[in-house]
Amino acid sequence: MTHTLLSPLDMHLHLRDEAMLKCVAPLSAQSFSAALVMPNLVPPITTIEALLDYKKRITEAIGNETFEPLMTLFFRSDYTRDFLEKAALHVKALKLYPSGITTNSEGGVATMDIEILRPVLEAMSDLGLILCVHGETNGFVMDREKEFCTIYESLASAFPHLKIVMEHITTKESVALLDKYENLYATITLHHLLITLDDVAGGMLKPHLFCKPIAKGYEDREALLHVSLHAHPKVMFGSDSAPHPIDKKECCGCAAGVFTSPIALQALVELFHKHHALANFQAFVSNNAQVIYAYKPPLKEVVLVKIPYVVPHSYGNVVPMFANETLAWSIERVI
């Protein structure tokens, strides 16, 4: 049994930099046609010069693969309209991080006060730039995304013509917002479709499943599965694949992030096949994103086949999700 995908897209990807970039970028480029690349490097990508330099490093790392890195800027509340007009020639979105809420987000916004953010958000709205948001407060870890829903509502109401992507949603409350506000969209990860907090910490702690936002409960996972398997037109795949070296994961003070890039399509097709939803797979991993971002990706055909695939223990110094386990599907060829 085979299934062919056309131009799969990863609309939330961490490629890091330097040695890590050289390790993980080719793994995404082999099977995806394009990806929205996150800007939270150290220091973050806040200038056009830094952005173009980073894009050049990505292009060099992927070699001859057919793959387009879609670049983003790290949101700052002091950007001018003139700067954003120039940036719009190079980026499709800006990524907003509440300060200190996740990996390398210390330079994020200190307040979500609408009036402070208004000049930048109005300019983005006028220019057709998309606002991507890591939506968590600094409250109790299981409630952070749910608490942020009121902020999403305020943003959606205050800027009705601004497309807002709720990144890597994990709760049923976030899912409910999709049908409440016309300008709210969402990315959903592989790991949040498969795991709950019980898988992370219900028995022995599994550091390679620890991520932010943290995996939630069964009802939340079911809500994510429902909109994904039905390819709700306002959701799209974003892996949030977040590589960290083994020594940063298997340690006290474990870094947050699940590395899924090289096994995402194999695991996703298995999930959609299991739920008799293969007819919706193309929309979830490509077509919806093309509409939301008004983007036409490079053509790439990925042929998946129902033949077991043993996931490697590691890729370089990074351990993937399902390391040493067997998935039911493999990538047969990429055209």
Just list the catalytic residues.
240
User: How many whole angstroms separate alpha carbon 15 and alpha carbon 18?
Assistant: 10
∠180-181-187 over CA atoms, to 5°? 100
3-state SS of the chain is CEEEEECCEEEEECCCCHHHHHHHHHHHHHHCCEEEECCCCCCCCCCHHHHHHHHHHHHHHHCCCCCEEECEEECCCCCCHHHHHHHCCCCCEEEECECCCCCCCCCCECCCCHHHHHHHHHHHHHHCCEEEECCCCCCCCCCHHHHHHHHHHHHHHHCCCCCEEECCCCCHHHHHHCCCCCCEEEEECHHHHHCCHHHHHCCCCCHHHCCCCCCCCHHHHHHHHHHHHCCCCCEEECCCECCCCHHHHCCCCCCCCECCHHHHHHHHHHHHHHCCCHHHHHHHHHHHHHHHCCCCCCCCEEEEECCCEECCCCECCECCCCCCCEECCEEEEEC
Nearest to 265 by CA among 232, 225, 226, 237: 237
